[in-house]
Amino acid sequence: MTTVQTTAERALALDLDGVLFNTRPVMQEAWRAVSERHGIDVPFEAYEQHLGRPFADIMECLGLVDIARLHQTYTEASKAASWLAQPFDGVEDVLHAFVAADWLLAVVTSKPLDRAAPLLAQLGCPFASVRARGGPGRGKPAPDPLLLVLVDLAIDPAAATYVGDMAVDHECARRAGVPYVHADWGYGAHGSPTPRVAHSPKDLLRLLDESGQTAPFIEGSLL
């Protein structure tokens, strides 16, 4: 977690899995390892219904026990398969466009920091705040990690936007009072009421336009 005092007026907070990175192949491998090692007969399709929540909460949703051992296996297998994670097309360009427009970047993820940090480092962007699982407060869908980002950045909820791909992200933003944009390229459906939807990372550049800032030209931009 990083805390900065700033005079910036806008911030873009993003989920990691299914928004910045396509980590589905990593998760599939990790869940396969858990299933095989612990004799669990729960298909990945059932596991991924609950993506966005902390791992322990997903296990509770699935009615599984001995969560600490399952988590250890999942963590080890995730690290071994981390090379399968790739940023979605356009993510790096879009993040740099927001930085160029003086927006602060933040990440709110249910992934532990030791697995989130190496991925975020690949993007080469200055994230002013990263709130990962294992920090203070409750995990998503509770608003706690997003509220902590607001404190980190010293900005109002209305000055931030949270981009997520699951209903738990939508609920987290709603409960934090932060405007929400649903990443349609991710893994899940949004909750209700229907939020704003971005169909690609480059679609997020509309936010710059709406805030009266000019986005640098990026090929394929909808602006």
Shortest CB 85 distance to Mg ion, Å: 12
Q: Which is nearer to Mg ion, 201 or 215 (CB)?
A: 201
Q: Which is nearer to Mg ion, 77 or 166 (CB)?
A: 166
CB 64 within 8 A of CB 40: yes
Shortest CB 120 distance to Mg ion, Å: 14
Shortest CB 72 distance to Mg ion, Å: 22
Give burial (CB, 10 Å; 0-12/13-18/19+) of 44.
middle
Shortest CB 164 distance to Mg ion, Å: 6
The residue assigned the tokens 């509220």 is: 147
**For binding to Mg ion (CB under 5 A), which residues are involved?**
15, 17-18, 52, 165
Tell me, what amino acid is at 3? T
3-state secondary structure 116-164: HHHHHHHHCCCEEEEEEECCCCCCCCCCHHHHHHHHHHCCCHHHEEEEE
Shortest Cβ contact with Mg ion: which residue?
Answer: 18
Q: Which is nearer to Mg ion, 25 or 216 (CB)?
A: 25
Q: Which is nearer to Mg ion, 86 or 213 (CB)?
A: 86
* Strand 86-87, strand 11-14: pairing: unpaired
Q: Give the separation between CA 120 and CA 135, rounded to whole angstroms.
A: 17
